[in-house]
Amino acid sequence: MKSILIIGMGRFGHHLCYNLAKLGNQIMIVDEVEERLEPMLPYVVSAKIGDCTNEAVLQSLGISNFDICFICIGTNFQSSLEITSMVKEMGAKRVVSKATRDIHAKFLLRNGADEVIYPDRDIAEKLAVRYSANHVFDYIELAEGYSIYEIPPLPQWVGKSLKELSIRNKYRINIIASKENGHAKIMPGADYVIREHDHLMVMGKNEDVDKIVSRLRE
């Protein structure tokens, strides 16, 4: 459980707050519009109406007491930049700021953000990968050039164990889980036999997984 501050309660701020609350975190939310705070009151320990570009408002929040401060202002970059900078100067342990453009991200990182997130871009990339390939059920980007894909097995894998297939050596990927009918087996052992209707969670370089996806199209 972490103590979290969310500044800016637009659509993204709402979704972030709700999901963090479901995971048991203690959350304080701030926005200058009261109506944006009201729907989230059941999920937070504290809510404050205020303009966070005002240094006195930020000082009153006790910034250094939070494990993470999220700056979720997407429509006014100047405000996001100012708040990010002031929050860091006030002793924030970790600052995560929302950006909509690469140039914004660069300025945010230079002015106090420890991490910058692109919710719209990230969702668009994930959907593009998922819906461009008939054989990709889901996709999670891990780092530059590495991802987790949820894919069906190649036909020649069915009925054989991971040890027989030597998938890591032959295909340079790792199978980290298999799912069938909603039931998952995490980190299957070498004796695990792949079934026809398995959904395999494979992790590796995008270029290596793409080779497998291409073979599934054949």
pLDDT at 130: 65
User: Domain 122-217 sits in which CATH superfamily?
Assistant: Regulator of K+ conductance, C-terminal domain (3.30.70.1450)
Per-residue tens of pLDDT for the chain, all 218 residues: 899 999 999 989 999 999 999 999 999 999 999 999 999 999 999 999 999 999 999 999 999 999 999 999 877 889 999 999 999 999 999 999 998 888 888 899 999 999 998 887 777 776 776 666 667 888 787 777 888 888 899 999 999 999 999 988 898 999 999 987 777 889 998 889 999 889 999 998 988 888 888 888 76
State the pLDDT at residue 210.
85
User: Topology of 3-117 in CATH?
Assistant: Rossmann fold (3.40.50)
Residue span(s) of the chain under CATH 3.40.50.720 come to: 3-117
pLDDT reported for residue 140? 81
- CATH 3.30.70.1450 in the chain, residue ranges: 122-217
Distance CA 87, CA 59 (A): 9
Q: What pLDDT is attached to residue 133? A: 62
Q: What is the C-alpha to C-alpha distance for residues 30 and 47, in angstroms, rounded to an integer?
A: 6
pLDDT of residue 34: 94
Per-residue model confidence (pLDDT) at position 52: 94
Q: What is the pLDDT of residue 194?
A: 92
**In 1-60, beta strands by DSSP E:** 3-7, 26-31, 46-49
For residues 116-131, b (16+ Cβ closer than 10 Å) or e, as one string? bbbbeeeeeeeeebee
